[in-house]
């Protein structure tokens, strides 16, 4: 963000230029790693797999969304606000973001109940009753006082406010993003300890490289597991030196979206995966604004499905949702947008409606095929998640149809205010 001459807070694209020189090579539609993993040497094509799914007879539903940022201004209205000190060139106190928001949308509570921030999302979670709930947590949870040097923005939430995450029944958070190390490696270690003590699994960051690469293994019943891997690319703003080391806490950072990166992920998944596991890859990638999905990103997403046995790609980093693709029966969410943040009162990018967001409820068969995707339009306002009104839902519907056209997807109203995905 920058402050313009009139003193108004404005966004500026913090993302670095992508340097994706090395594109993933053409993926194979048959004889891929997935086909061999399907067993017995039988090739399985997307169009042939429905019968197998029916024989398995079971499905499960996920709740997914994009960035959940409970630090900074949000932290200040929760019961245990941390040190508000900031090191931003335009703002020195997290309370300033509370004041900005109040100037835009009116008074905010103080010492708000832990479930306040989830607003209308709680009723949707109660209605859908997803089996597993996963978000990208875009903040450190720490009392650490040393900000990462040479970084413009640092998010932190006080560990005593962690019940705001358990209030939504989160099972797992992705931590591979450009804010979890904002308060140094000690801050990351405290974040991990705090989440694990609360029973929330983590993926994409760890006390060393092996822990950062390891999946969160979530039981699905019947001995099946959902393996959640998470990683980030540097074009999302992750400093390269945040990469976890042999004996150093950090993130699972992908240096590029090349075939070598796909191969490394495939090798890791191959080592962890048991028969019956469903595999999800959560990835923080790309800049904050704009709808374009790079060829490199599209090739990568398809390649991890074809070659690394990934069943669902959960993308995030953009402040607004992006188009959706279904590749060989597997869901690719290129960007889920922000789900909660303290950005009210920050002008700019109004045409992309970054306050509008969605709850993603994909229903998968236990072999990883997408059965259905319900999207619930929501809106960030008053530091909480609210149901979008009819006009806002129609805007999201139109955007998803515009951006999904290139991917062969479209959405339709479900009649209950939700949208459902249709795909070729
Ligand atoms: Zn981010």
pLDDT digits (tens, 9 = 90+) for 148-178: 999 999 999 999 999 999 999 999 999 999 9
Question: Which pLDDT score is estimated for 26?
Answer: 31
Domain that holds residue 321: 26-423
**pLDDT above 90 (res 366):** yes
Rounded to the nearest whole angstrom, what is the distance from the C-alpha of residue 177 to the centroid of ligand 1? 5
Taking a 5 Å cut-off on Cβ, the residues next to ion ligand 1 are: 177-178, 317
Name the least confident of 5-14, 111-120, 261-270: 5-14
> Helix, strand, coil proportions of the chain in percent (round to 5)?
30, 30, 45
Question: Which pLDDT score is estimated for 14?
Answer: 33
Residue 11 lies in a domain: no
Residue 290 lies in a domain: yes
**pLDDT above 90 (res 141):** yes
Question: Which pLDDT score is estimated for 35?
Answer: 46
Residue 9 lies in a domain: no
**pLDDT above 50 (res 186):** yes
The band of 10, judged by pLDDT with boundaries at 50, 70 and 90, is low
Rounded to the nearest whole angstrom, what is the distance from the C-alpha of residue 290 to the centroid of ligand 1? 14
Contacts of 9 (CB under 8 A, 6+ apart): 1, 3, 90, 100, 345, 346, 347
**pLDDT above 70 (res 11):** no
Helix (H) / strand (E) element for 338: namely strand 338-340
Residue 376 lies in a domain: yes
Number of domains in the chain: 1
**pLDDT above 70 (res 46):** no
Question: Which pLDDT score is estimated for 328?
Answer: 98
The predicted-structure confidence for 285-312, as pLDDT tens digits, reads as follows 999 999 999 999 999 999 999 999 999 9
Residue 288 DSSP class: S
Rounded to the nearest whole angstrom, what is the distance from the C-alpha of residue 139 to the centroid of ligand 1? 9
Question: Quick one: CA dihedral 390, 391, 396, 399, positive or negative?
Answer: positive
**What is the three-class DSSP state of 279?**
strand
Average pLDDT, the chain: 89
Rounded to the nearest whole angstrom, what is the distance from the C-alpha of residue 11 to the centroid of ligand 1? 14
Q: Tell me phi and psi for residue 332, to 5 degrees.
A: -120, 115
**What is the three-class DSSP state of 261?**
helix
Token output for 80: 């245990």
Rounded to the nearest whole angstrom, what is the distance from the C-alpha of residue 23 to the centroid of ligand 1? 23
Residue 18 lies in a domain: no
Residue 17 lies in a domain: no
Is the CB of residue 173 less than 8 Å from the CB of residue 167?
A: no
Residue 21 lies in a domain: no
Residue 308 DSSP class: S
Q: What percent of the chain has pLDDT over 70?
A: 87
In 165-316, the DSSP E strands lie at 172-174, 201-203, 205-206, 216-221, 224-233, 250-251, 253-254, 278-284, 312-316
**What is the three-class DSSP state of 332?**
strand
Helix (H) / strand (E) element for 256: namely none
Rounded to the nearest whole angstrom, what is the distance from the C-alpha of residue 36 to the centroid of ligand 1? 35
The band of 401, judged by pLDDT with boundaries at 50, 70 and 90, is very high
The predicted-structure confidence for 90-137, as pLDDT tens digits, reads as follows 999 999 999 999 999 999 999 999 999 999 999 999 999 999 999 999
Q: Tell me phi and psi for residue 253, to 5 degrees.
A: -105, 130
The band of 404, judged by pLDDT with boundaries at 50, 70 and 90, is very high
Helix (H) / strand (E) element for 423: namely strand 419-423
Rounded to the nearest whole angstrom, what is the distance from the C-alpha of residue 340 to the centroid of ligand 1? 12
Among 383, 423, 298, 401, residue whose Cα is nearest residue 69: 383
Neighbours of 242 (CB within 10 A): 24
Rounded to the nearest whole angstrom, what is the distance from the C-alpha of residue 234 to the centroid of ligand 1? 10
Question: Which pLDDT score is estimated for 12?
Answer: 41
Residue 97 lies in a domain: yes
Left if phi > 0, otherwise alpha if psi is -120 to 50, otherwise beta: which for 134? beta
CATH of the domain at 410: 3.60.21.10
The band of 347, judged by pLDDT with boundaries at 50, 70 and 90, is confident
Rounded to the nearest whole angstrom, what is the distance from the C-alpha of residue 101 to the centroid of ligand 1? 20
Rounded to the nearest whole angstrom, what is the distance from the C-alpha of residue 21 to the centroid of ligand 1? 22
Read off the pTM: 0.89
Question: Which pLDDT score is estimated for 348?
Answer: 87
């Amino acid at each position: 963000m920058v402050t313009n001459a009139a003193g108004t807070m404005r966004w500026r694209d913090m993302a670095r230029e992508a340097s994706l020189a090395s594109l993933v090579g053409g993926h194979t539609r048959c004889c891929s790693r997935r086909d061999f993993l399907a067993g017995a040497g039988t090739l399985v094509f997307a169009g042939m797999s429905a019968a197998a799914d029916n024989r398995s007879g079971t499905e499960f539903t996920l709740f997914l969304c994009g960035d959940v940022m409970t630090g900074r201004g949000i932290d200040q209205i929760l019961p245990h606000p941390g040190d508000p000190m900031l090191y931003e060139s335009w703002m020195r106190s997290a309370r300033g973001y509370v004041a900005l928001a109040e100037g835009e949308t009116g008074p905010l509570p103080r010492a708000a109940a832990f479930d306040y921030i989830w607003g209308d999302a709680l009723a949707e979670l109660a209605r859908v009753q997803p089996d597993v709930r996963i978000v990208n947590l875009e903040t450190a949870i720490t009392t650490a006082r040393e900000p990462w040097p040479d970084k413009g923005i640092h998010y932190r939430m006080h560990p005593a406010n962690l019940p705001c995450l358990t209030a939504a029944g989160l099972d797992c958070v992705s931590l591979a993003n450009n804010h979890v190390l904002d308060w140094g490696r000690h801050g990351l270690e405290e974040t991990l300890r705090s989440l694990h003590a609360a029973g929330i699994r983590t993926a994409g960051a760890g006390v060393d490289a092996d822990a950062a690469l390891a999946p969160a293994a979530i039981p699905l019943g019947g001995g099946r597991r959902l393996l959640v891997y998470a990683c980030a690319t540097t074009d999302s703003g992750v400093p390269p030196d945040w990469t976890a080391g042999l004996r150093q806490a950090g993130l699972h950072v992908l240096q590029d979206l090349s075939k070598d990166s796909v191969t490394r992920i495939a090798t890791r998944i191959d080592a962890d995966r048991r028969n019956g596991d469903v595999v999800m890859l959560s990835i923080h990638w790309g800049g904050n604004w704009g709808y374009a999905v790079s060829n490199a990103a599209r090739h990568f997403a398809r390649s991890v499905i074809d070659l690394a046995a990934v069943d669902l790609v959960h993308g995030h980093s953009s402040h607004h949702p992006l188009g959706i693709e279904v590749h060989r029966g597997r869901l690719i969410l290129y960007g889920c947008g922000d789900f909660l943040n303290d950005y009210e009162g920050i002008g700019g990018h109004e045409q992309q409606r970054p306050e509008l967001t969605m709850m993603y409820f994909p229903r998968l068969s236990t072999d990883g095929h997408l059965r259905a995707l319900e999207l619930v339009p929501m809106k960030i306002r008053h530091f909480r998640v609210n149901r979008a009104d009819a006009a806002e839902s129609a805007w999201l519907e139109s955007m998803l149809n515009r951006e999904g056209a290139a991917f062969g997807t479209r959405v339709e109203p479900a009649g209950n205010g939700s949208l459902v995905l249709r795909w070729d």
